[in-house]
Structure 1
Amino acid sequence: MITVVLLGAGNVATHLFKAFLASEEVEIKQWYNRNLKTIDKYKNKVNVTDNLSSLVEADIYILAVSDDAIEDLSKQLPFENRLVVHTSGSTSLYAVDMKQKRGVFYPLQTFSKAADLNFNDVPICVEALKKTDLPILKNLAKAIGSKSHKVNSDQRQALHLAAVFVNNFTNQLYRIAHEITEENGAEFNILKPLIKETANKIESLSPYMAQTGPALRNDKKTIKRHLKQLESDEHKAVYHLLTKSIKKTHGIR
């Protein structure tokens, strides 16, 4: 049984809490948040607190807080030489105070409180200053059904940067597409099978090989017509930039 104290109550913390609670191999000893009202509704399931001095002993302390809060919160922990990890993709391992055994437990996924999430589909990137601390992080990932991946800081930060492109930026492109369809009285839902197929393609093809469209074909008439259709200068700029990027990637002039 792995014992855990969870600190923070955002999207990542909430989903981790639910996953830990459902696991027979994890015991949540305590849940801390500076605003107790946020987690008070869970007090029948776990010991909740807003007092750092009352933190109990556990195998792992997980700082599931904003990147900017990690360093300050870890300094305030009233103990030393315990395994303290954060869940950030972009923050240094060394943001955790040096008086602790430092590590990272980074779930590489998009988290929304209202959306259900199966941790079988969530890779966990693990990192530890001491190699001896890696096994418990891997076992914790396994206990909630996730596959763990040992990465170093550079690799983790590269994955986080790449995740912004495949998730956040892609979602913004969905939003632009939604605006375009709304402006012209078309249904955005008609595009959803295409969105799913585009994502499914890279299960068997590299993104390079999966590329299609007017930029790849160098279909200048279609590109010109699309740019004329777009009313927003911002949308035109995005279309032009991505078209230029695709052409450069595939050696098209």
Structure 2
Amino acid sequence: MISVLLVGNGNVAAHLHTAFLNAPAINVTHVSSRDLEIIPQADITIIAVSDDAIAEVSSKIKNHFVVHTSGSVAMNGLKNTTRKGVFYMLQTFSKDKIVDFSEVPFCLESENENDYNLLEKLAKSIGKKMYAINSEQRKTIHLAAVFVNNFTNHLYKIGNDICKENNVPFEILQPLIKETASKIEELSPKKAQTGPAIRNDEKTIKNHLNLLDKKQQKIYKIFTKSIQNGDKL
């Protein structure tokens, strides 16, 4: 049995808490990051708070092994005086969307092999995909994730805006979104690229630009140029 203290109130903490409650080999306690006066001991203390709060929260915890869940903060960003580690899950977490942890990559880091083995055992209690990733690698993974997740989702938002402005249901684009995402399981993103930019279809590009407002035109032009120039802007 692994005892876990989970600190935090956000989406990551909530989803982890639910998952650990359903894991028979885990005994989990969940506390708020604002309530650190008296905290229980645990084999692993997981700090699932905002990046800016990691240093302050960790400095108040005396438990033997403390890890954070951030993709962009180095392991030494923890300010506890005991052992440190990272338990980063490469996934987007939303409040009302159930997460299948069996599909989530766990990026693990620790100061010694025994602690890594403990983190791996914890990850295996709810998931299947574990990777030994150091702080520098994790920063680059997080950066790549911003492009494929956060920026892509913003493009969905722009597509939704365009649909709304023209009385078209956004759901009509959902099969295309799903096919685009599934295609790169078989093809590289470069080989999967389609559309007027890669075809150098200037007539279609011009027609598209005429339908967009100035902010949308700027984004469209940046992406079109990047695609046509092989990412060399």
Match in the other structure for 2:3: 3
> What amino acid is the match of 2:201?
D
Aligned residues: 232
Measured on the aligned residues, the alpha-carbon RMSD in Å equals 1.4
> What amino acid is the match of 2:225?
K
Structure 2 alignment gaps of length 5 or more: none
Runs of 4+ in 1 over 4 A off after TM superposition: none
From 223, 234, 238, the equivalent of 2:219 is 238
Match in the other structure for 1:178: 160
From 88, 112, 116, the equivalent of 1:130 is 112
Matches within 5 A, 1:38-57: 50=35, 52-57=36-41
After TM superposition, the score normalised by the length of structure 1 is: 0.88
Match in the other structure for 1:46: none
Match in the other structure for 1:33: 32
> Structure 1 vs Structure 2: percent identity of aligned residues?
50
CA distance in 1: counterparts of 2:17 and 2:82, whole angstroms: 23
Q: Deviations over 1:34-70 (max 9, x none)?
A: 45xxxxxxxxxxxxxx2x2421221100000010111
Q: Is 1:154 equivalent to 2:153 in the alignment?
A: no
The answer on whether the counterparts of 1:216 and 1:250 sit within 8 Å (CA) in structure 2 is: no
Deviation at 1:86, TM superposition (A): 0.1
Structure 1 alignment gaps of length 5 or more: 36-49
Q: Is 1:247 equivalent to 2:228 in the alignment?
A: yes
CA distance in 2: counterparts of 1:180 and 1:151, whole angstroms: 40
From 137, 149, 171, the equivalent of 1:189 is 171
The answer on whether the counterparts of 2:33 and 2:49 sit within 8 Å (CA) in structure 1 is: no
CA distance in 2: counterparts of 1:239 and 1:195, whole angstroms: 18
Given the superposition, is the C-alpha separation of residues 228 and 19 from structure 1 closer, same or farther in structure 2, using an over 3 Å criterion? same
SS at match of 1:144: coil
Q: Which moved more, 1:188-197 or 1:114-123?
A: 114-123
After TM superposition, the score normalised by the length of structure 2 is: 0.96
CA distance in 2: counterparts of 1:148 and 1:168, whole angstroms: 23
Q: Deviations over 1:4-49 (max 9, x none)?
A: 0000010000000000001011111x221045xxxxxxxxxxxxxx
The answer on whether the counterparts of 2:9 and 2:33 sit within 8 Å (CA) in structure 1 is: no
